[in-house]
A and B are shown apart, each in its own frame.
Chain A
């Protein structure tokens, strides 16, 4: 199967989400769910003396921000079945409680791969996270695999 799509969908922002506030309580629940005990993420007093001068979210918290609608509302789905193939995350700046975070997303790449189990089409969605001061917090490349 050749991958057919309109190249105009590449590199075009398809969504900028409404800001989502980072609640201290949610960072706490996130840490608990991962078994996180590092004081720079969990202990306000200890974190004051740490590298960020206060509590920050663990870096992987960046992947918890989601598009408002599923990206396949904007992007062709190649085949019926698919799954999350992986993520590449570049951590740029710390995510702090009280930050208001937006996600700006575009299709970075669409490519085909043939493996043992047949042909797969990968769609890579790049999202940039910014805070209320327009500072970039992270870039996330999300690889989604579709099987025709």
Chain B
């Protein structure tokens, strides 16, 4: 990644296209202890009974994927993700292509931090999850 001096408001992260399979979603749910028995994160039928269109990706997984968009951008430099906030607007369904986006909205030389808008879109460019992140650039 570029240094604090080299980044600019308007710089973008991604877009990163991702296909999260139903099995990957189940694996995440299982790792998190949410995968025991059929539920909204593991089974289409169980999800429909809850009024959902089918299996959905856990909110925490969306948060994890958007955090990863930022930490991938940071790479192995000593900048650090210090904050992320997410809003789950529309249920995210696995088995489809999603796209992760980021956009630098502010840069504060005093604290050496950058503010980044992050969001996840479906194939219809509908914003499913939106959020903001802060990255601190240590000297």
Could you tell me the distance between the alpha carbons of A84 and B27 in the complex, rounded to whole angstroms?
Answer: 20
- Chain B residues 10 to 68 lying within 8 A of chain A, measured CB to CB, are 18, 24, 27-28, 31-33, 59-61, 63-65, 67-68
**A29:B31 contact, CB within 8 angstroms:** yes
Could you tell me the distance between the alpha carbons of A14 and B81 in the complex, rounded to whole angstroms?
Answer: 29
**A60:B63 contact, CB within 8 angstroms:** yes
With a cutoff of 8 Å between Cβ atoms, the chain B residues found around residue A10 in the complex are: none
Q: Which of A29, A34, A64, A91 makes the CB contact (< 8 A) with B82?
A: A91
Q: What's the tally of chain A residues with a CB closer than 8 Å to chain B?
A: 29
With a cutoff of 8 Å between Cβ atoms, the chain B residues found around residue A84 in the complex are: 59, 88
**B71:A86 contact, CB within 8 angstroms:** no
**Chain B minimum-CB-distance residue to A86:** B87
Q: Cβ of B112 < 8 Å from any Cβ of A?
A: no
With a cutoff of 8 Å between Cβ atoms, the chain B residues found around residue A34 in the complex are: 28, 61, 64-65, 68
**A87:B64 contact, CB within 8 angstroms:** no
Q: Cβ of B126 < 8 Å from any Cβ of A?
A: no
With a cutoff of 8 Å between Cβ atoms, the chain B residues found around residue A29 in the complex are: 27, 31
- Chain B residues 60 to 118 lying within 8 A of chain A, measured CB to CB, are 60-61, 63-65, 67-68, 71-72, 75-76, 78, 80-88
Number of A-B residue pairs with CB-CB distance less than 8 Å in the complex they form: 82
With a cutoff of 8 Å between Cβ atoms, the chain A residues found around residue B68 in the complex are: 34-36, 58, 60
**B83:A91 contact, CB within 8 angstroms:** yes
With a cutoff of 8 Å between Cβ atoms, the chain A residues found around residue B76 in the complex are: 38-40, 50-51
Q: Cβ of A32 < 8 Å from any Cβ of B?
A: yes
With a cutoff of 8 Å between Cβ atoms, the chain B residues found around residue A40 in the complex are: 76
Q: Cβ of A59 < 8 Å from any Cβ of B?
A: yes
Residue from B67, B75, B87, B88 having most chain A Cβ neighbours under 10 A: B67
**B85:A59 contact, CB within 8 angstroms:** no
Q: Which of B18, B67, B86 makes the CB contact (< 8 A) with A86?
A: B86
**Chain B minimum-CB-distance residue to A88:** B85
Residue from B33, B76, B81 having most chain A Cβ neighbours under 10 A: B76
**B85:A87 contact, CB within 8 angstroms:** yes
Q: Lowest 10 CB-CB distances: which A-B pairs, in order?
A: A88-B85, A60-B67, A33-B28, A86-B87, A60-B64, A84-B59, A51-B78, A29-B31, A33-B27, A63-B60
Chain A interfacial positions (CB closer than 8 Å to B): 26, 29-30, 32-36, 38-40, 50-51, 58-60, 63-64, 66, 83-91, 143
Chain B interfacial positions (CB closer than 8 Å to A): 18, 24, 27-28, 31-33, 59-61, 63-65, 67-68, 71-72, 75-76, 78, 80-88, 131
